[in-house]
């Protein structure tokens, strides 16, 4: 038997013993049906974070019209598009930075950094709500943009950390549903932002009618209240123990892994691991794993599918004003009526397809699997965008109900589709040592797609006509159809199915990669030594 065959046999035997012990540890810690205190705690802490993330991102769409009335009365009560773009765009840039930063930190320093991203969100939110102008120099809008950048870093950090921790605290049969449930809090956060705005507008109604400058209180309260759920759950994040899988698979600290689940590690499991004391080289581990095409193509798949989704996801936003106008929620005679109509309209749009789509994913994710849902979402939205592109003018002029129906359907199948699964899959298909990093890269790719779309298509929709006329919108919708089709191709080629698969299966892939690299390195060293010996003979 060759050395490599012996190593492979020993690896398989060790893996079987490890998996048997880990299954006992998981079974003891999961409780009946896979739900216990750890499950509830994970859903509460991670879900509250995603609720806050979504609230903070969405609330700015409701607040910017108020800023126009308060700070830009000289500009027809409208915030200039360049300033509005900076205020909204800075959080996207911050989110991309946070996704990469916390993704790599989560693997290098451990999942115990969970909570720092929420602290950044709290600090950013409070400072956004209290932003004011300097006596000379930077305006309130400048400081608001700066703190939106800081806020975005915290929001971005929540993606890889919440996904990774939820995945690692879950059992195989419940993992997808738990991750989908946490991600669905985005829809609830969107809805809550609109409802809070509506309540505050109702409270300040008479004050706003008497003096529109009282909107200065409203927009600050709208933003500031977003910190409440974060403050309420930050203690739970900071006191959450290290992920058992990180303790076991990265630090090889079996006792810590068992203690995190309220257990005592078996002697058999302790004997299989030697606790890691020396500093790891994360970058070497990362390069070694993704240096193999079979692993790299999965990362490309999760990153490209998220990028392509977010490019087209922005396309729905281009149609919001059309839908709002068609259902009677366009501009009104007074500031209060305009803001009220805009907020009610946003609630309607959110409820049309967004929220139902999230919960359809929760219900079906463990029944159908991740890959089929993502394929379905990309395929259906490809067809919808193609119909909207080809029949745009006919629908707008003669069949507005059909346009609204297609718009709703597109929202439904983006959330009951790739918008949910692109978050879930990267948290499952990579080994522990690179899981947070890979998720951060995938999420940052998606955010890059959204940033690209917001800059490119804002200009593109007005090609061939006056600014704001959206003359080129049908062609842009055709581009989105092509982008969705590319997402479908990427999914078919490079996205694996992770339904029902234990995370330790991906761990074994990592161990096999490391051992193959060690064998190759040993072989290269042996060849080099042989050459040196031969040369010394002459």
What is the domain-level CATH number for residue 192? 1.20.1250.20
Burial letters for 40-73: b for 16+ Cβ neighbours within 10 Å, e otherwise? ebbbebbbbbbbbbbbbbbbbbbbbbbbbbbbbe
Dihedral over alpha carbons 172, 178, 183, 184 (to 10 degrees) = 130
* pTM of the predicted model as reported, rounded to 2 decimal places: 0.87
Contacts of 82 by beta carbon, 8 Å cutoff, 6+ apart: none
Q: Is 526 contained in some domain? A: no
Q: Is 121 contained in some domain? A: yes
The total domain count for the chain is 1
Could you give the 3-state DSSP secondary structure of residue 111? Answer: helix
Q: Is 4 contained in some domain? A: no
- CA separation for the pair 327, 463 (Å, rounded): 27
- CA separation for the pair 271, 14 (Å, rounded): 11
**pLDDT reported for residue 83:** 87
Q: Which domain holds residue 381?
A: 40-501
Q: Is 269 contained in some domain? A: yes
**pLDDT reported for residue 52:** 94
What does DSSP assign to residue 354?
A: I
Q: Which of 123, 144, 151, 154 is nearest to 216 (CA)?
A: 144
Q: Which of 272, 243, 230 is nearest to 106 (CA)?
A: 243
**How many residues can be counted in the chain?**
538
- CA separation for the pair 180, 425 (Å, rounded): 10
Q: Which long-range contacts (CB under 8 A, 24 or more apart) does 201-205 make?
A: 201/336, 201/339, 201/340, 201/343, 205/336
Q: Per residue of the chain (538 residues), what is the pLDDT tens digit?
A: 555 565 555 555 554 555 454 555 455 444 445 566 767 888 889 999 999 999 999 999 899 999 999 999 998 988 888 888 888 889 999 999 999 999 999 999 999 899 999 999 999 999 999 998 876 667 889 999 999 999 999 999 999 999 999 998 888 888 999 999 999 999 999 999 999 999 999 999 999 999 999 999 999 999 999 999 999 999 999 998 888 888 777 766 554 444 445 555 555 555 555 555 556 788 999 999 999 999 999 999 999 999 999 998 877 776 676 677 766 777 788 999 999 998 998 898 888 888 999 999 999 999 999 999 999 999 999 999 999 999 999 998 899 899 889 989 999 999 999 999 999 999 999 999 999 999 999 999 999 999 988 888 777 877 888 876 778 888 989 999 999 999 999 999 999 999 999 888 887 766 666 655 655 555 555 555 555 545 555 5
- Of the CA atoms within 13 Å of residue 499, those in its CB half-sphere come to 15
Contacts of 475 by beta carbon, 8 Å cutoff, 6+ apart: 389
Helix ranges (H only) for 278-417 are 282-290, 293-318, 320-326, 335-349, 355-368, 370-390, 392-398, 400-415
Could you give the 3-state DSSP secondary structure of residue 497? Answer: coil
Burial letters for 273-282: b for 16+ Cβ neighbours within 10 Å, e otherwise? beeeeeeeeb
**pLDDT reported for residue 22:** 53
Q: Is 22 contained in some domain? A: no
**pLDDT reported for residue 29:** 46
**pLDDT reported for residue 224:** 97
Dihedral over alpha carbons 159, 371, 35, 357 (to 10 degrees) = 70
Q: Is 362 contained in some domain? A: yes
Q: Is 508 contained in some domain? A: no
**Burial degree of 208 (CB within 10 A; 0-12, 13-18, 19+):** buried
């Amino acid at each position: 038997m060759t050395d490599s065959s012996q190593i492979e046999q020993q690896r398989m035997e060790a893996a079987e013993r490890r998996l048997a012990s880990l299954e006992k540890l998981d079974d003891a810690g999961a409780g009946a049906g896979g739900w216990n205190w750890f499950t509830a705690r994970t859903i509460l802490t991670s879900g509250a974070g995603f609720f806050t993330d979504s609230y903070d991102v969405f609330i700015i769409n409701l607040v910017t019209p108020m800023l126009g009335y308060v700070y830009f009365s000289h500009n027809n009560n409208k915030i200039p598009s360049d300033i509005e773009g900076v205020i909204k765009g800075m959080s996207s840039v911050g989110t991309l930075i946070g996704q990469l930063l916390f993704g790599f930190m989560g693997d290098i320093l451990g999942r115990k950094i969970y909570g720092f991203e929420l602290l950044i969100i709290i600090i950013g939110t409070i400072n956004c709500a209290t932003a004011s102008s300097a006596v000379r120099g930077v305006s309130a809008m400048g400081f608001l943009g700066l703190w939106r950048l800081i806020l975005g870093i915290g929001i971005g950090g929540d993606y890889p950390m919440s996904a990774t921790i939820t995945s690692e605290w879950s059992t195989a049969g419940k993992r997808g549903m738990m991750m989908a449930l946490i991600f669905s809090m985005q829809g609830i956060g969107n809805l809550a932002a609109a409802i809070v705005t509506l309540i505050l507008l109702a409270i300040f109604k008479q004050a706003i009618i008497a003096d529109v400058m009282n909107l200065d209180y409203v927009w600050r309260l709208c933003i500031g209240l977003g910190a409440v759920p974060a403050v309420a759950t930050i203690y739970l994040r900071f006191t959450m123990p290290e992920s058992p899988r990180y303790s076991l698979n990265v630090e090889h600290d079996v006792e810590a892994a068992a203690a995190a689940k309220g257990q005592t590690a078996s002697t058999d499991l302790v004997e299989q691991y030697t606790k890691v004391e020396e500093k790891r080289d994360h970058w070497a581990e990362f390069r070694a794993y993704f240096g193999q095409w079979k692993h790299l193509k999965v990362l490309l798949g999760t990153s490209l599918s998220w990028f392509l989704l977010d490019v087209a996801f922005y396309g729905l936003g281009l149609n919001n004003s059309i839908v709002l106008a068609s259902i009677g929620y366009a501009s009104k005679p007074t500031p209060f009526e305009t803001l009220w109509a805009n907020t009610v309209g946003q609630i309607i749009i959110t409820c049309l397809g967004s929220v139902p789509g999230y919960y359809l994913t929760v219900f079906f994710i463990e029944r159908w699997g991740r890959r089929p849902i993502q394929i379905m979402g990309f395929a259906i939205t490809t067809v919808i965008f193609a119909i909207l592109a080809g029949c745009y003018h006919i629908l707008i002029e003669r069949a507005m109900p059909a346009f609204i129906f297609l718009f709703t359907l597109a929202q439904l199948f983006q959330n009951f589709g790739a918008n949910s699964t692109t978050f879930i899959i990267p948290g499952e298909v990579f080994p522990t040592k690179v899981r947070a990093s890979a998720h951060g890269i995938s999420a940052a790719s998606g955010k890059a797609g959204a940033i690209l779309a917001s800059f490119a298509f804002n200009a593109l929709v007005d090609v061939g006509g006056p600014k704001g006329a959206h003359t080129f919108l049908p062609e842009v919708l055709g581009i989105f159809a092509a982008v969705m089709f590319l997402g479908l191709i990427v999914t078919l080629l490079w996205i694996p199915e992770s339904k029902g698969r234990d995370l330790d299966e991906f761990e074994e892939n990592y161990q096999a990669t490391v051992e193959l690299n060690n064998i190759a390195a040993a072989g290269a060293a042996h060849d080099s030594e042989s050459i040196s010996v031969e040369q010394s003979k002459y």
